[in-house]
Amino acid sequence: MGYYFVIGQCVNCGNVFTFNPDKVPSVTVNGRREPVCQACIEFANPIREARGLPRIKPLPGAYDPAPEYPEEMN
């Protein structure tokens, strides 16, 4: 079994990072789903809490390589 990951730019800070495209937190910009890096999520959560908004909780494995085939195919 193999693994893959995507290399992309964070929509917020512009840093390049790797992620699992099916699990990474994202926002929609101009109709496109854009990834958000872990550092920006950690930065945003205290601000969100102060405003009474829920914390963003990335899915487990959001910043890890993804299996080559979805779990249901194993």
| pLDDT, tens only, 14-34 | 999 999 999 999 999 999 999
- Nearest-angstrom CA–CA distance, 49 and 2: 39
The residue that leads in pLDDT, 71 or 2, is 2
Close Cβ partners of 1 (under 8 Å, ≥ 6 residues apart): 67, 68, 69, 74
**Contact partners, residue 3, CB within 8 Å, separation at least 6:** 65, 66, 67, 68
pLDDT reading at 74 higher than 90: no
- The answer to whether residues 48 and 5 touch, using CB atoms and an 8 Å cutoff, is no
Question: 15: buried, middle or exposed (CB in 10 Å: 19+, 13-18, 0-12)?
Answer: exposed
Residue 12 has pLDDT above 90, yes or no: yes
Q: Domain range spanning residue 56? A: 3-73
Q: How confident is the model at residue 71 (pLDDT cuts 50, 70, 90)?
A: low
pLDDT reading at 73 higher than 80: no
Please report the pLDDT score of residue 59 as a whole number: 97
Query: Looking at residue 57, what is its pLDDT?
Result: 97
Give me the number of domains the chain comprises.
1
